[in-house]
Structures are given as structure tokens and as C-alpha cells.
A = this chain, B = another copy of it.
Amino acid sequence: MKEKKYKSEEEFLKHYNPDDFERLSATVDILITSVSDTPTQNYRKLNKKSFSVLLVKRNTFPFKDKWCLPGGFIDVKETIDHAVERVLSNETNLHNIYTEQLYTMGEVDRDPRMRVLSIAYMSLIDKNELTDKLPFNAAWFDISINERDQFVDIKLKSEKEEINFTVEKLLVQQTTAKYKYNIVENKDIAFDHASIIALGIERLKNKIEYTDIVFNMMPKLFTLGELQQVYEVILGRTLLDAAFRRIIKNKVMKTNKMRTGGGHRPSVLFKYKEPRL
């Protein structure tokens, strides 16, 4: 742009040419997570819960036939939030879903087509509220994680297939224990979405301990046993019953409904109690 003197902002804007700088593209990519219930054989036992993520199979280049996060380009005339809502309504029939910004990915070659920033979001939903059938190219994958030294093996399992990838967990900031996740092995996930998945899992593990975020993936009514199962599957460790109940007792409210039918003592159904802020 020429160095020119303008008298007013209006005048400046009239002459401004956005093409003086080469521009770029941006997408939103959303890690949609939930918990799945798998019935067990033993009639007494509770359903097994797993932490799951919604992926979409690409049917066009680039990364044709690989799995990726639901996402889309941000239109020049729409806000980021709007793009997020648009993508979410393509994949689900839900409104007022929990979303939060996860990270903005900006490696130069993360998309082979051209320069594309990805503004990654994380979203938590209650899968049971989904009434519409999933888009034909989308599927839920149950997550299992194995950490060995600085490597994290992540296994994603849907009804039809299994995906494995490995990321390297690298400390980037000592004072705040901030990590980044480099992909070291990955055949099936497109772009840098494997990093985003690892990042989102870590974020959720942290937030579940000091926020009420988990209730975004719970049904309206739930037993404390179920809630504890969700905590356990996300944290990847078992919790002591008594301690767990103490921790969440201020976050939930007893209802007068019970869940019966298992081969054991019925349990009270609770609902989320919003905190005073």
C-alpha cells in the first residue's frame, strides 16, 4: 500500500485495498464429544461407559477417505461463532450445545491446498438427545488412551472400524505445565486433527476437575453411580465412592425419582444444580 496521507478514517477506508496483502483461509473444526453406554452381559452389572468422539469420513480430496473432525470454512461474512453453530447443526439436531475454543492451529503446511488456519473448538453433548440419524459419513468412536513416557497412544473404535494413532506429549512451558502434541504415528486422521483430539482430551481431563463441564454430557436425570462412571472414564482412573459423593454433593440435587430394575439396590436420580456465581 502506498504511503499516503489521508485526512480522515473515512477517506482512508475508501482507498484501502485489502488485496495489498495476500490473504488466507480459516476453518472451524469441532471436537464433538459425549459418553456412550455399552450394555453388559451380567444383568446385575451397570452399563459400561466410554468417552467418545464424533468423526466424519472425508469423501473428497485432500485426505480422501480419512477421518476428520466436523468442520468447515469460515465465510468472510460470518462470525466464528456462527460458523461453529452452522457446523454443529449439520452434524446434530441440538441447539444450545456447550462449545469452547480449544486452540487455533497455524502451521503453514497443515493443509496441502493452501494456507488455512484452523480454529479448533470442543463441544460436549448428551448423545442420547440426538434424534436424527447421523449423517452417513459420520460415526462415533470410543476413545481409549495409553500413556507411555512422553508418548500417548490413542485408540478410536467405532462399530465398524478401529483407528490408532500416537502423539508425542511435549512440554512447551514449565511454569504452567503446558504441553503440545506432535503426531508421530497416524494413518487414518486427516490434517492435524489428531493433535486437536489429544489437546481436547487433555483440556477436558483438566476442566472436569475444577468446573461443572461434565454435566453438559449428562442426561437431565442421572444416578451418582453413572456420574462417577463418567468421571472415571474421562480421568482414566477409579475414584472412591465416598470421596466422590462429597465432591459433587454441592453440584447436584436429589429428585424424588429412583432408578430400579438392576439386580441391586435402586438408586436415587439426581439433577444438576447450577452454582451461584
Give me the interface of A with B, judged by CB distance under 8 Å.
Answer: 6, 9, 12-13, 16, 18, 21-26, 61-64, 73-81, 98, 100-101, 103-104, 106-108, 112-115, 117, 119, 171, 173-178, 207, 210-213, 215-216, 272, 274-275, 277
Check B16 against A213 for contact (C-beta < 8 Å). Answer: no
| Nearest 8 interchain pairs by C-beta | A80-B106, A12-B61, A23-B23, A18-B114, A175-B212, A176-B211, A22-B76, A104-B104
Query: Residue of B at shortest CB range from A99?
Result: B173
Check B79 against A212 for contact (C-beta < 8 Å). Answer: no
Check B215 against A76 for contact (C-beta < 8 Å). Answer: no
Query: Residue of B at shortest CB range from A23?
Result: B23
What are 17 pairs between A and B in contact, CB < 8 Å? A9-B62, A16-B113, A22-B75, A23-B24, A24-B74, A26-B117, A74-B117, A80-B117, A81-B106, A98-B173, A100-B176, A104-B104, A104-B119, A175-B274, A176-B207, A176-B212, A177-B275
Given contacts A25-B21, A107-B79, A108-B79, contact A61 B175 (CB under 8 A): no
* Distance from A57 Cβ to chain B, minimum over Cβ atoms (Å): 15
Chain B residues contacting A274 (CB-CB under 8 Å) are 174-175
Given the complex of chains A and B, what is the CA–CA distance between A25 and B213 in angstroms?
33
**Contact among B80, B207, B272 for A104, CB-based, below 8 A:** B80
* Distance from A179 Cβ to chain B, minimum over Cβ atoms (Å): 9
Chain B residues contacting A104 (CB-CB under 8 Å) are 80, 101, 104, 119
* Distance from A96 Cβ to chain B, minimum over Cβ atoms (Å): 11
* Distance from A151 Cβ to chain B, minimum over Cβ atoms (Å): 15
Given contacts A106-B81, A173-B100, contact A113 B18 (CB under 8 A): yes
Specify which of A77, A107, A174, A178 lies most central, judged by the most chain B CB atoms within 10 Å of its CB. Answer: A174
**Contact among B24, B64, B175 for A211, CB-based, below 8 A:** B175
A interface majority secondary structure: loop
Chain B residues contacting A21 (CB-CB under 8 Å) are 25, 73
Given contacts A13-B113, A112-B9, A112-B13, contact A277 B98 (CB under 8 A): no
Chain B residues contacting A64 (CB-CB under 8 Å) are 9, 12
Given the complex of chains A and B, what is the CA–CA distance between A233 and B174 in angstroms?
23
Given the complex of chains A and B, what is the CA–CA distance between A119 and B80 in angstroms?
12
Given the complex of chains A and B, what is the CA–CA distance between A117 and B117 in angstroms?
10
Chain B residues contacting A61 (CB-CB under 8 Å) are 6, 9, 12-13
**Contact among B13, B76, B210 for A24, CB-based, below 8 A:** B76
Check B175 against A216 for contact (C-beta < 8 Å). Answer: yes
Chain B residues contacting A26 (CB-CB under 8 Å) are 24, 26, 117
